[in-house]
Amino acid sequence: MIPRSPESITVAFVALGCPKNVVDSEIMLARIVQAGMLITTQSEHADVIVINTCGFIAPAKAEALEEIKHAVEYKRNGRTKKVVVAGCLSERLGRQLFSQAQGIDAIVGLACRDEIAAIISKTLASDQPAAYLEPKHLSSADDRTRLRITPDHWAYLRVSEGCDHRCSFCTIPAIRGRLRSKPPSLILSEAAELVSAGAVELNVIGQDITSYGRDFGEKDALPKLLHELEQTPRLRWIRLLYLFPAAISDRLIQTIKASEKIVSYVDMPIQHINNDILTRMRRPDNKERICSLIEKLRSAIPDVVLRTTLIVGFPGETERQFKELVEFARWAKFDALGCFKFYREEGTPAALMHDQVPEHIKDQRLEELMLTQQRVAFAANEKRIGGTLMCLVDSVTADNTAKGRFYGQAPQIDSICLIENCTARPGRFLSVKVSAAKDYDLIVRPV
């Protein structure tokens, strides 16, 4: 095949998965544009479709395979010439992905992310499918060169990659590798660039940001980093995502409490509350420490918003252990709670455990737990009616109806504030009064 000049190549990009994957997508998009290729939002008219996949659990894999199927159909029926699949599913399955999703032209592992533009060119010039699977990064990535796909006024700030925990149900260490913390100088430089580009909110992310710096030999390095991050001019909100509960220190709690920029929002995946299940999950927590941590957080930071994720149907989970989890959810009154059914992920110890819970029981337990949480969340929203909040405006329609968030709502994860009669532009802060609740969302009006 005759090589194409980069300027004549159009690329459609599909970004799937978690905030860490969003950052990877932004990095790849930057590399593509730097090479002179054109980005299009119309997949059916693109020369190449790149899909950055998630492969954490079965539903994410199913979503990725469905997107690949659509892209291959475009290749068969339209002008699309090649389909390139990158990201976590590529890393997890490697060459197996060719047989699981026929029609793929290139598979790109995580370590080859920065070479995406060259891989696109090679793929267009070849008739043979190829896999680009190198050993995982030995150091963390420099995320400063990104083509942002989040709004200008908020961004993700990744401080580490990988994870050193070995939870029995989790595929992340196998996909993303061991913990690799970014040097503070890189993080602070990236933060300054993001704020200069208009970001007033930075969402600090990593597989486990509480372990930040341990690979440097530092203990409790996150509070020190946050103190330096707070000095960034014009930065208003710093949000911490994915705090490993067993590693939330008193110093970190005091850092959040004392800060004018770190919002009182703690996202700490707990997974379960029964001690036997936590042991089988290989979690370092137990019920007593988790309950004590919740009480400590609410005592130290009275306005704290707590978010968690739980798993139902873990191997061996009895009805009694599940009921203990439900009672815990009623007691803890999390402001936001996500729940997953247990999935037997290949390569994890939990997938081989005996006493697997039947799917229909998992479904029943998921529904019961989420209905319990729904009552908790709706009651919390009712209590907010009549109160005032500071909202960050995310978007505004032609009729001055806007969507925004107060500090207790993470972007693209939690509920939102529906702002009536809003004249403020996206990225502005607005004092509002809560007039009503609509399911999980709040209806507010400018003060």
CATH code of 251's domain: 3.80.30.20
Among 383, 411, 428, the domain-final residue is 383
Q: Please indicate, yes or no, if residue 17 is contained in any of the structural domains.
A: yes
pLDDT at 135 over 80: no
* Confidence grade of residue 407 (pLDDT, cut at 50, 70, 90): very high
pLDDT at 398 over 50: yes
Residues 127, 109: Cα–Cα separation, whole Å:
20
Let me know whether 51 and 69 are in one domain. Answer: yes
Let me know whether 66 and 205 are in one domain. Answer: no
Answer for the pair 93, 55: CB distance below 8 angstroms, yes or no: yes
Let me know whether 253 and 104 are in one domain. Answer: no
Number of compact structural domains in the chain: 3
Report the predicted TM-score, pTM, of the whole model to 2 decimal places.
0.93
Q: Please indicate, yes or no, if residue 19 is contained in any of the structural domains.
A: yes
Answer for the pair 116, 15: CB distance below 8 angstroms, yes or no: no
pLDDT averaged over every residue in the chain: 94
Answer for the pair 333, 304: CB distance below 8 angstroms, yes or no: no
pLDDT at 3 over 70: no
> Mean pLDDT across the stretch 238-253?
96
Q: Which domain holds residue 175?
A: 154-383
Residues 359-396: tens digit of each pLDDT = 999 999 999 999 999 999 999 999 999 999 999 999 99
Residues 291, 293: Cα–Cα separation, whole Å:
5
Q: What is the pLDDT of residue 134?
A: 80
Let me know whether 399 and 377 are in one domain. Answer: no
Share of residues in the chain with pLDDT > 90 (%) = 87
Q: Please indicate, yes or no, if residue 144 is contained in any of the structural domains.
A: no
Q: What is the pLDDT of residue 257?
A: 97
pLDDT at 2 over 50: no
Let me know whether 254 and 336 are in one domain. Answer: yes
Residue 101's alpha-carbon distances to 12, 71, 264, in angstroms, are: 19, 11, 44
Q: Please indicate, yes or no, if residue 109 is contained in any of the structural domains.
A: yes
* Confidence grade of residue 141 (pLDDT, cut at 50, 70, 90): low
Among 353, 383, 413, the domain-final residue is 383
Let me know whether 97 and 178 are in one domain. Answer: no
Q: What is the pLDDT of residue 115?
A: 93
Residues 288-323: tens digit of each pLDDT = 999 999 999 999 999 999 999 999 999 999 999 999
> Mean pLDDT across the stretch 320-339?
98
Q: Please indicate, yes or no, if residue 139 is contained in any of the structural domains.
A: no
Residues in the chain: 447
- What is the CATH number for 85? 3.40.50.12160
